[in-house]
Amino acid sequence: MALLVTGGAGFIGSNFIRDWLALGDEPVVNLDKLTYAGNPANLGQYVGDRRYTLVQGDIGDAALVAQLLATVQPRAVLNFAAESHVDRSILGADDFIQTNIVGTFRLLEAVRAYWKGLQGEAHAAFRFLHVSTDEVYGTLSPTDPPFAETNRYEPNSPYAATKAASDHLVRAWHHTHGLPVITTNCSNNYGPYHFPEKLIPLVIHNALAGKPLPIYGDGQQVRDWLYVGDHCSAIRTVLAGGRLGETYNIGGWNEKPNLEVVRTLCAHLDALAPRADGASYATQITFVKDRPGHDRRYAIDARKLERELGWRPAETFDTGIEKTVRWYLANPQWVQDVTSGAYREWVGAQYGAATP
């Protein structure tokens, strides 16, 4: 028995694989295109481990995926593979359309052919778990209830639109072809091995480097923050017991405005790695022009997952954010390795020459 994980060298996928291998011996084969955010070093500790195999490749490569399925014979496919950064999707949506829509379609077709060839218990027990986002639901007003699985899709960014399309494809392959699928829609993740283009790792990296801490608009955009370890435990729970064809929202029950998140990070850094001049890292906060179409609020209602499968997050925002800050402080080499010249050029183009 084995799992095939796509996009497993990225942030959430690599955390899932690491947690999975820490809990048991079932092998994992990781298919990853190894784009800028796919980092083999995230799972470097498992090089040479018989339970882990990395295959560089694209979910859109139908022949490769078919060959891999025939060789590995997985009991489940978990699809983490996606282009995921809203800002990048605004600057250029082509990669998002190719990976999130076309890639998901080709993956589904390859998996369907493989599943149809299975017999008996292997056919009945097979699962395709598709990892998606709360951004497919659009935005909320301050008084709206959190997103439930029954909310209609209203994606507002090119990224969200491509993820919404992938969710619809997964649903259609279940209802039309009977493919045994489950979809999860998660809120904003944070934690170790997060590429420093997203808010929390970017703030930590910039703070320690003495750079501005860029905040879009007024910083009052609200997100529901989910520690990545909790997300991984939820995915394991859904894989083990989720109902076929269903969607499960995964959230942290931690709604926070972006400005509050940044100030909290600054407070932890002040305590754990104080600036040489004694000033707070909060003095580096800089407000920059808001991005186009910026959603104001996301919030996840995860009661279905708790009601049906008994899952709740283990981390509060305070415990999760402290673990995250401590990890980045303890792993400066990882940060240095991923912050290449190309990354710095992109950050400069995105945020400009803002000064605190």
Choose, from 32, 58, 83, 135, the residue flagged as catalytic: 135
Mean pLDDT computed over 164-193: 98
Residue, of 350 and 76, whose pLDDT is higher = 76
Cα distances (angstroms) measured from residue 10 to each of 136, 232, 338 = 20, 13, 12
User: Does 301 qualify as catalytic in the annotation?
Assistant: no
| Contact between 214 and 176 (Cβ < 8 Å) | no
Question: What type of residue sits at position 124?
Answer: A
- Mean of pLDDT values over 286-293: 94
Write the burial class of residue 275 (CB in 10 Å: 0-12 exposed, 13-18 middle, 19+ buried).
Answer: middle
DSSP sequence for 270-284: HHHS--TT---GGGG
Q: Does domain 3-192+227-254+294-314 have CATH number 3.40.50.720?
A: yes
Are 166 and 104 spatial neighbours (Cβ–Cβ below 8 Å)? yes
User: How wide is the angle at C-alpha 327 spanned by C-alphas 342 and 232, nearest 5°?
Assistant: 90
Rg of the chain taking only CA atoms, in angstroms: 20
Task: Provide the strand spans (E) within 98-246.
Answer: 127-133, 181-186, 188-190, 213-216, 222-227
For 36-58, the pLDDT digits (tens) are: 888 899 999 999 999 999 999 99
Give me the chain's average pLDDT, please. Answer: 95
In this prediction, residue 348 carries a pLDDT of 64
Place of tokens 């699928």: 181
pLDDT of residue 343: 47
- Report the percent of the chain where pLDDT is more than 70: 96
In this prediction, residue 37 carries a pLDDT of 84
Mention every residue, 6+ apart, whose C-beta is less than 8 A from residue 12.
80, 131, 186, 189, 228, 231, 232
Q: What is the mean pLDDT of residues 5-21?
A: 97
Q: In this model, does residue 205 exceed pLDDT 90?
A: yes
Identify the band that residue 350 occupies on the pLDDT scale cut at 50, 70 and 90: low
Is there a contact between 79 and 54 (Cβ–Cβ < 8 Å)?
no
Instruction: Find the mean pLDDT for residues 141-160.
Output: 97
Q: What is the 3-state secondary structure (H, E, C) of 54-99?
A: EEECCCCCHHHHHHHHHHHCCCEEEECCCCCCHHHHHHCCHHHHHH
Average pLDDT over residues 259-269: 98
Which phi-psi region, left, alpha or beta, contains residue 352 (left: φ > 0; alpha: ψ -120 to 50)? left
More confident residue, 67 or 197: 67
pLDDT at 35: 87
Q: What pLDDT score does 351 carry?
A: 54
Q: Which amino acid is at 29?
A: V
- What local confidence, expressed as pLDDT, does residue 307 receive? 98
Amino acid at site 339? T
Please state the rounded mean pLDDT for residues 177-201: 96
Residue 353 clears pLDDT 90, i.e. is over it: no
Flag whether pLDDT at 192 surpasses 50: yes
Q: How much is the pLDDT for 354?
A: 43
Decide if 135 is catalytic.
yes
Can you tell me the distance from the alpha carbon of 225 to that of 262, in angstroms, rounded to the nearest whole number? Answer: 13
> Could you give the C-alpha distances from 246 to 186, 187, 215, 241, in angstroms and in order?
14, 17, 36, 11
Residue 356: per-residue pLDDT: 34
Residue 298 near residue 188, CB atoms below 8 Å: yes
Which of 92, 77, 84, 78 minimizes the C-alpha distance to 37?
A: 84
Burial class (CB in 10 A: 0-12, 13-18, 19+), 246: middle
Q: Catalytic annotation on 298?
A: no
Please state the pTM of the whole predicted model.
0.94
Query: Measured at the alpha carbon of residue 342, what is the angle toward residues 341 and 345, in degrees to the nearest 5?
Result: 85
Catalytic residue among 159, 216, 281, 328: 159
Task: Read off the pLDDT of residues 70-108 as tens digits, 9 standing for 90 and up.
Answer: 999 999 999 999 998 899 999 999 999 999 999 999 999
Amino acid letter at 214?
P
> Of 134, 224, 230, 301, which one is the catalytic site residue?
134
Report the percentage of the chain scoring pLDDT > 90. Answer: 89
Question: What pLDDT, on a 0 to 100 scale, did the predictor assign at position 349?
Answer: 67
Q: In which residue are the tokens 């990669």 written?
A: 95
pLDDT value for 342 = 59
